[in-house]
Chain A
Amino acid sequence: MAPRFSGRRRATLVVLVLASVTLLTIDQRGSGPVDTARGFAGDVISPIRGAADTALSPFGNMWNGIFNYDDVRQENDRLRAEIDAQRAASLEAQAVVNDYNELRAVNGLTSLAAIPSVTAQVIGLPASNFELTVEIDQGSAKGLKVGMPVVSAGGLVGRLVKVYNNRSVVRLVTDPDLSVAVKIVPPQAAPGATTTTIVVPPSTTAPPLPPSTTIAPTTTTRRGAKPAVTTTAPAGAVTTTLAPTTVAPTTTTTRPNQLDRGSMHGRGQGQDLGIDFVDNDSGVKVGDVVLTSGVRSSLFPPDILCGVVSVATRNSGSLQLEVHVAPAADLGHLNFVKVLLWAPPQ
């Protein structure tokens, strides 16, 4: 039997498609009624979802226990080792961070630690596979406003896009619609690091020079490292002439504290972040650290850790380096986050 296409059925489909396109267009124009309806629907569904979450979480745990057991065990082992390493490092780093914050305060610069924040729990993960937002359990009642940055213990999570009375929606950094002004720094230059210099060992090490003692004129020529250094001694003094040996200087490569700035944006779910406008000659390498730059009119305060450079590739014919960034925050397992009560300067 051939499919039947009645006129009425076709008309119904056309009406539904037109209605959808109309709604899409209204939403694209930033309509108030759609936002109001979404807020109302969220208020209705939120307690039901909370109850369902509580009731059904054992099933979720069981699922993860069955299918992710090995991963979880390996992750636990890795995290234990990391904690041991971090415990010592954090004590050392804390002192440096304190110095850093004091210096910023003395110079009248905004410090991340000085920004007040509100701790919130993530109550809703993305329900759709195409949505890159999470819902948190704090809202305007706690002083939250649209645009405030959200961070986790790992780093930058995103930005508030909707704020209701007792809940808010956070757009994750992986969303391509979210752009962040960032700076790329060498790992040692990130706040809390102890040095900004990478010392490259010299390729050849000269042995100690055997001095030959002679009665010489009143000048001593010390040769070795170029350029030669000449010092003048008082007349009649015993001088030491160093053998004319070429000494390879210790090579110290100092990378600048800031390699380049750029605009970081999401590239969709399951993808690393990308940074545009990074110069080919910036010297950015895999492993470099990405922080918010906090430039004037930036949407984020400076020095929030965004991630680590995972790809830095030169593309032939392009003036820009292709840079990908692995997010520092574990966006797939968010539980508690902090909302920074910070608004961009007008």
Chain B
Amino acid sequence: MLSLTESPWVRLPLVVLVVLSLQQSLLTQLRIFGVAGDLILLIAIVSGLVAGAERGAVAAFFIGIMFDLTLQTPFGLSALAYAVTAYGVGVLQTGYLRTSWWIGPLQVLVASAAATALYGIVATLFGAQGIITAHLIVVIVVVSSVNALLSPVAARIMRWALVPDGPRLRRRG
């Protein structure tokens, strides 16, 4: 039985709040080619990696909703893009064994690119204009690269938040 402080219901909102603050303060200043890294997307994707397709998708949906609350973009858009991406990552994650250290960052790189493109497409379908431009390619490249670089750290944090009983179970086994 997990204690209250170990519960994902407590840890995940805490992590999301901290990452949201970072995203809205530090990340808006650290721009590369005018593009900010997307830590929120990173933790959503990593949720799928560390918690599997189902739990990861639910966590990513929650993360997306929290992010949408702070934006003026269509409400539910981030939740949709993040949940679908985290689910996809989670499903693929169970399909093979991770034998090399670079598999995780590579997954995050590809998933970040896919999620950003999906976001742009869905936003356009819902009437947003000016998103699918040449600038979108720059956004995809920068966001994917930054997320891939930061993915090992994010994986540790999200494992702490979402699967606190993971190491114990392994020890028992």
Contact = CB atoms under 8 A, between A and B. Distances in A.
Interface of A: 1-5, 8-9, 12-13, 16-17, 19-24, 26-28, 34, 37-38, 41-42, 45, 48-49, 51-53, 56-57, 59-60, 63-64, 67, 124-133, 161-162, 169, 171, 174-177, 266-271, 332
B87 to A, nearest CB: 5
A127 B96 contact: no
Contact of A45 (B20, B34, B123): B20
Contact of A63 (B21, B30, B128): B30
Contacts of A51: 21
A169 B68 CA distance: 15
A37 B69 contact: yes
Interface in B21-71: 21-30, 32, 34-36, 38, 53-54, 57-58, 61, 64-71
Contacts of B27: 127
B163 interface: no
A175 B130 contact: yes
A34 B76 CA distance: 10
23 contacts: A3-B94, A9-B87, A12-B54, A20-B61, A20-B64, A20-B77, A34-B75, A41-B66, A42-B70, A51-B21, A52-B21, A56-B25, A57-B29, A63-B29, A127-B70, A127-B71, A129-B116, A131-B71, A169-B72, A176-B130, A270-B133, A270-B135, A270-B138
Given A16-B83, A129-B139, 16 more contacts: A8-B54, A12-B58, A16-B80, A20-B80, A24-B80, A28-B127, A41-B69, A41-B70, A45-B70, A57-B25, A59-B29, A128-B73, A130-B123, A171-B72, A268-B131, A270-B133
A64 B29 contact: yes
Nearest to B130: A268
B69 A124 contact: no
Contacts of A67: 32
Given A49-B24, A60-B26, A27 B34 contact: no
Nearest to A11: B54
B26 A23 contact: no
B135 A269 contact: yes
A98 B48 CA distance: 63
Interface string B81-93: 0011001000110
B120 interface: yes
Given A16-B61, A21-B80, A130 B87 contact: no
Contact of A20 (B54, B72, B83): B83
Given A13-B83, A41-B70, A52-B22, A130 B75 contact: no
B65 to A, nearest CB: 8
Contacts of B143: 129
A34 B77 CA distance: 13
Contacts of A133: 72
Given A24-B74, A267-B133, A12 B57 contact: yes
Interface of B: 17, 20-30, 32, 34-36, 38, 53-54, 57-58, 61, 64-80, 83-84, 87, 91-92, 94-97, 116, 119-120, 123, 126-131, 133, 135, 138-139, 143
Nearest to A33: B75
A181 to B, nearest CB: 18
Contacts of B38: 128-129
A49 B26 CA distance: 9
Nearest to A55: B25
B57 A52 contact: no
B24 A28 contact: no
A48 B75 CA distance: 22
A13 B84 contact: yes
Given A3-B94, A3-B95, A48-B17, A127 B73 contact: no
Contacts of A124: 24, 28
B135 A271 contact: yes
Which residue among B26, B53, B65, B76 has the maximum number of chain A CB atoms within 10 Å of its CB?
B76
Given A131-B73, A332-B34, A20 B79 contact: yes
A270 B34 contact: yes
A271 B134 CA distance: 9
A269 B130 CA distance: 8
A277 B119 CA distance: 31
A16 B57 contact: yes
Contacts of A176: 128-130
Nearest to B34: A270
Contacts of A38: 69-70, 75
A17 B70 contact: no
A52 B27 CA distance: 11
A19 B80 CA distance: 8
B28 A125 contact: yes
A130 B131 contact: yes
